[in-house]
Amino acid sequence: MMSAKRSDVHTICVRRLIAVAAAMIAVMTLYSAHAAPVDVRFPEGVSQGFLVLRGLDGKKLADGELRQTSAGTARLVSRLVFRFLDGSLHDETVVFSQKPVLTLVSYTLLQQGPSFPSQLNVSFERSSKTYMVRSRKDGREKEEIFTGNLELPPDVYNGLTVMVLKNLPPGRTQTIHIVAFVPEPKLYEVEIHPRGRETIHAGELRKQARRYELKPKLSSMMRFFADLFGKTIPAYHVWILADDIPAFVRFEGPLSTDGPPWRIELGAPLLGGKQ
């Protein structure tokens, strides 16, 4: 009986420690936030493109499609969909404006299927400051639902990091914010570091691409609790064409906070055939 009581007390203490740690991380992140929206040097327009998602070993996992459409005179809608060979789905939609700076207006994300450790359905909106998260871990029948208010700095760029990199002047180090879902939303500062150039090939054509590393900016205390509870976002890398017209080349990193690193590259549709 005494052992059971001690176990209950220990469980309560651990839960309180986790709650306090999460609150400290949220507060410290909020206080460290500073507004630094990115100036738009290359405005986006209506477009459509095709992508391929692979493992780092080169094995194809999913086919992707990126569509950008107009939402009135001042906004665009960017939707990225990956349909996996195993039936999984990644469906991400960002509404944004770009005059004179890049600004996220609203965001939705759906991740489901065996390729994702957590089944996730999230949304948040700048004007209403509201968010909704529906999350289910693999093997769990009960779905967790979180709703509330979230104050977004001007430089929150979920789903817009490629556009951020295309608009940064060469060599610029920048800090932006990303909302990570663990599963409740947490606001992280993310540091963007240029890591030099690499040669890319398109048939006989050779070009240069700038490689960027993006990683969460954590204080020592935040890093300790993040490592302790496994609630952090990993670094990832993006390659952007180093030309007078910048363009996406490659992405490497996870698409979810608890998922493995993957690679995204440009796809080329074939007329009357299969890839």
Please provide the DSSP assignment of 139-187 as one string.
T--SPEEEEEE-PPPTTB-TT-HHHHHHHSPTT--EEEEEEEESSSEEE
Six token digits for residue 249: 């080349």
Tokens of 120: 């996730």
Give residue-wise pLDDT tens across range 170-199: 999 999 999 999 889 999 899 999 999 999
Q: Residues 74-109: pLDDT tens digits?
A: 899 999 999 999 999 999 999 999 989 999 999 999
| pLDDT at residue 29 in the model | 40
| Cα–Cα distance for residue pair 108/134, rounded to 1 Å | 12
Q: What is the distance between the alpha carbons of residues 117 and 170, in angstroms, rounded to a whole number? A: 36
Q: Is the pLDDT of residue 22 over 50?
A: no
Question: d(Cα 79, Cα 6) in Å, to the nearest integer?
Answer: 51
Taking phi first (over 0 means left), then psi (-120 to 50 degrees means alpha), and beta for anything else, what does residue 253 get?
left
Give pLDDT, residue 165.
97
